[in-house]
Chains A and B, each alone.
Chain A
C-alpha cells in the first residue's frame, strides 16, 4: 500500500499543475500566493508527500480542490451508487452466465449452446459505450420503458441513499446494470463452459454415471463445485474492476458514482480526489483478493485449513 501511495502521488503530481485550472488567469498575485500556500503546493514534492502520508494515517485525505469538502466524504457519498450498480451487474452476470456456461459446456454441439457462445463473443467484443447508447436508444428513447439517466428514488440507510430498494430506483438501475454486466456475463459463460467441458470428460463424472447418478445431480453436485474456484476468482476480480472503473457506463447513464467522480477529477486536476480514489481502489483490490483466498479454503479442502 505504501509503494502504491508513492506511485500514485508522484504520478498524479506529474499530470499537471492544478493551479492553471483552479485559479482564474486574471487573479491578482496575492490571491495566487494565498491559494498556493493554503494547499501546500509551494512545498517540494517529498514534503508534500510526507504531509499527505501523516494526514492519511490519521484518516484525513485532505480537501478536494474543486468541491472544497473533505475528500473522504466526497468519495463515501458517491460510493453507494457505484457499489449497488456494480454488485447488481456482477451478481447478475454471474448468476445468469454460470448456468448458461454450464449448459453450453454440457452440450457443446447443441445449437442453443452455439447461440450462447455467440452471445459471449458479442459481450467481449462490442464496446460497452456503444451497447450503452443502443440500450438508451431502444429502451429509453424509442420504447420509453426505462429511464436513461440518474438514480431515481433512493432510500436512506446508514445515512446514505440506496436505489435498489425502490421500484423507481431499480428501474433506473436496470439499463446501466445490464450494460455493465455484459462483460462479466461473457466472461462467466466462457469460464463455466471451459470448466464444465473439461470435467465432463473426467472419470469422476463417469464414475458418478456408473453409480447411477442422474445428469442433473452430476451437474449440480459434482461439476458446479469443481468449477467454482476459477469462477470465484474471476468474480472477485470483476467485482473490483467494475467497482473501480465503471467509468464509461456511469458517464453514459449519468450515474452519480465513483467512475464519474474520477473522470471529473482528472479533468479538473483535482489531485487529492485522484490520489485518495486510487489508493482506495488499491485497498479494494487487496481486500477482494484476501476474501477470495479465504473462500478458496472453503471451496477446496485440499488447500489445508483443516487437518486430517
Chain B
C-alpha cells in the first residue's frame, strides 16, 4: 500500500463570530493517496469549502483551525511558518475555485497572471516563463496559446477562463489540487469537458484531486472515493460505487433521492424535508436528526463513526441495519 500524500486527522475549523462560535468543520478525518480522486459532497454551508481552505492554510479571520492536523507527505502543516506555508501553496498543493470570473484579475493579462504564479516558486527569466505558460495553456486545451497569453480574462469564455485557472493551479504539478466546485458556474456541456480534462491531467501528472461539489451526479462520475459532509461532520464515506449503491446514512439516501435522474418522469422530485440547521445552535447528537425519517431518541446522543470495511458512516440506525 502506498503512503498517503495527505492525512487529515480530526480537523476542526471554527469561526469566532459575534453571535458565537460557528463550527464549520468539526472533526473531519480522511486520507488521500497520490493520484487519488476524492469527492467531497454536501449542501451549501456544510463546511466543504472551509475544509478545502483549511488544507491550504487559507482560512480567513475570524475563522481558524482550532485542532487536528493536516499532514502533507508526512509534514504537519500547522507547524509551518506563514512563509513555509506559502512555499507549499501552488507548488505542492493548490486550489481551483468556483467562479473563474471572480478568481482571475480582470486588469491583468492571462500571461501576466500565469507568470506571477510561475515566479512565485521558480526563478526564471521572462522568455522561459513565457514558454512554460504557453505549454501550460496548451495542456489545458486552449488553442493558439502563445497569442492568448496577451488576452485579458474578459476576452475568454467561461470554460476557457476556468481552463486558465486550472492551468495556473497545475503549473508546478502539485501533489494535490483542491477543486472547489470548479464546474458549477459553467454550462453543462463545458462541465463535462473540464471534468474529463482535469481527470486526465491529474492522471498524467499523478496529482491527487479533492473534488468539492454539491452535485452528487458530477462527483460520482469522477471520484474513486466519496465523502458526504453535513453540518461540519463527515456523515458517510466509502468507495464511490458502494456509497451510491448502498448508502448507509439517511442523509446520503436523501441526496441520492433528490437527484433528477432518480425521479420518475411526471412525478415531483423528492427532497429532504427541512433545511440545514444553524451551525451556531447545533442540536446535541446527530445534526441530521431533526430532518431524518428514521430518527429516534438515541439520535440525541453523540454518534460515533462506524467503520465497515472500506466505508464508514455516522448513524445509530443506518439504512440496511447495523452490521
Task: Report which A residues bind B (CB closer than 8 A).
Answer: 201-204, 206-214, 217, 221-222, 225-226, 299-302, 308
Instruction: Quote the shortest CB–CB distance from A277 to chain B (angstroms).
Output: 38
Say yes or no: A203 contacts B91, CB within 8 Å: no
Say yes or no: A212 contacts B120, CB within 8 Å: yes
* Contacts A211-B120, A226-B105 given; does A203 touch B99 at CB 8 Å: yes
Chain B residues with Cβ below 8 Å from A308 are: 151, 155
Say yes or no: B108 contacts A221, CB within 8 Å: yes
Chain B residues with Cβ below 8 Å from A226 are: 105-107
Closest to B115 in A: A221
Say yes or no: B105 contacts A210, CB within 8 Å: no
Binds A, one of B36-44, B81-89, B126-134, B262-270: B81-89
Say yes or no: A207 contacts B95, CB within 8 Å: yes
Chain A residues with Cβ below 8 Å from B152 are: 301-302
**B 81-122 binary contact with A (CB < 8 Å = 1; else 0):** 000001111110011010100111111110010001100110
What is the CA–CA distance of A202 and B88 in the complex, to the nearest angstrom? 21
Say yes or no: A211 contacts B151, CB within 8 Å: no
Say yes or no: B102 contacts A204, CB within 8 Å: yes
What is the CA–CA distance of A93 and B116 in the complex, to the nearest angstrom? 30
Interface centre among A212, A214, A225, A302 (most CB of B within 10 A): A212
Chain A residues with Cβ below 8 Å from B121 are: 212
Say yes or no: B169 contacts A210, CB within 8 Å: yes
Say yes or no: A203 contacts B107, CB within 8 Å: no
What is the CA–CA distance of A301 and B104 in the complex, to the nearest angstrom? 13
Interface centre among A210, A214, A222 (most CB of B within 10 A): A210
What is the CA–CA distance of A210 and B95 in the complex, to the nearest angstrom? 6
Q: Does B165 contact A (CB under 8 A)?
A: yes
Say yes or no: B165 contacts A212, CB within 8 Å: no
Chain B residues with Cβ below 8 Å from A301 are: 106-107, 109, 152, 154
Instruction: Quote the shortest CB–CB distance from B266 to chain A (angstroms).
Output: 41
Say yes or no: B86 contacts A206, CB within 8 Å: no
Closest to B87 in A: A212
Q: Does B231 contact A (CB under 8 A)?
A: no
Instruction: Quote the shortest CB–CB distance from A11 to chain B (angstroms).
Output: 43
Q: Does B58 contact A (CB under 8 A)?
A: yes
Sort A-B residue pairs by CB-CB distance and give the 5 closest, nearest first: A212-B90, A207-B103, A210-B95, A308-B155, A211-B90
Q: How many A-B residue pairs have CB under 8 A?
A: 88
What is the CA–CA distance of A212 and B93 in the complex, to the nearest angstrom? 9
Instruction: Quote the shortest CB–CB distance from B114 to chain A (angstroms).
Output: 9
Say yes or no: B88 contacts A212, CB within 8 Å: yes
Say yes or no: A299 contacts B107, CB within 8 Å: yes
Q: Does B136 contact A (CB under 8 A)?
A: no
**Tier of interface size on chain B:** 35 or more
What is the CA–CA distance of A214 and B82 in the complex, to the nearest angstrom? 10
**B 255-288 binary contact with A (CB < 8 Å = 1; else 0):** 0000000000000000000000000000000000
Chain A residues with Cβ below 8 Å from B169 are: 210-211
Instruction: Quote the shortest CB–CB distance from A129 to chain B (angstroms).
Output: 40
Give me 5 other A-B pairs in contact (C-beta within 8 A), A208-B116, A226-B106 excluded.
A202-B102, A204-B105, A206-B53, A212-B88, A212-B91
Q: Does B56 contact A (CB under 8 A)?
A: yes
Which residue of A207, A214, A222, A300 is within 8 Å of B120 (Cβ)?
A214
Task: Report which B residues bind A (CB closer than 8 A).
Answer: 53, 56, 58, 60, 86-91, 94-95, 97, 99, 102-109, 112, 116-117, 120-121, 151-152, 154-155, 165, 168-169, 171-172
Interface centre among B58, B86, B105, B165 (most CB of A within 10 A): B105
What is the CA–CA distance of A208 and B102 in the complex, to the nearest angstrom? 12
What is the CA–CA distance of A202 and B104 in the complex, to the nearest angstrom? 10
Say yes or no: B58 contacts A206, CB within 8 Å: yes
Instruction: Quote the shortest CB–CB distance from A231 to chain B (angstroms).
Output: 13
Instruction: Quote the shortest CB–CB distance from B217 to chain A (angstroms).
Output: 25
Chain A residues with Cβ below 8 Å from B112 are: 221
Closest to A218 in B: B116
**A and B contact pairs by CB, cutoff 8 A, 26 listed:** A202-B102, A203-B97, A203-B102, A204-B103, A204-B105, A206-B53, A208-B105, A209-B58, A209-B86, A210-B90, A210-B94, A210-B95, A211-B116, A212-B86, A212-B87, A212-B88, A212-B91, A212-B120, A221-B108, A221-B112, A221-B116, A225-B107, A299-B107, A301-B106, A301-B109, A308-B155
Closest to B172 in A: A212
What is the CA–CA distance of A209 and B178 in the complex, to the nearest angstrom? 13
Closest to B106 in A: A302
Closest to B58 in A: A209
Say yes or no: A212 contacts B94, CB within 8 Å: yes
* Contacts A204-B102, A301-B154, A308-B155 given; does A213 touch B107 at CB 8 Å: no
Instruction: Quote the shortest CB–CB distance from B166 to chain A (angstroms).
Output: 12
What is the CA–CA distance of A221 and B112 in the complex, to the nearest angstrom? 9
What is the CA–CA distance of A163 and B104 in the complex, to the nearest angstrom? 46
Instruction: Quote the shortest CB–CB distance from B89 to chain A (angstroms).
Output: 4
What is the CA–CA distance of A201 and B102 in the complex, to the nearest angstrom? 11
What is the CA–CA distance of A204 and B100 in the complex, to the nearest angstrom? 9
Say yes or no: A211 contacts B94, CB within 8 Å: yes
Closest to B121 in A: A212
Chain B residues with Cβ below 8 Å from A208 are: 105, 116
Closest to A223 in B: B105
* Contacts A210-B94, A212-B88 given; does A222 touch B58 at CB 8 Å: no
Instruction: Quote the shortest CB–CB distance from B52 to chain A (angstroms).
Output: 9
Instruction: Quote the shortest CB–CB distance from A296 to chain B (angstroms).
Output: 11
Chain A residues with Cβ below 8 Å from B116 are: 208, 211, 213, 217, 221
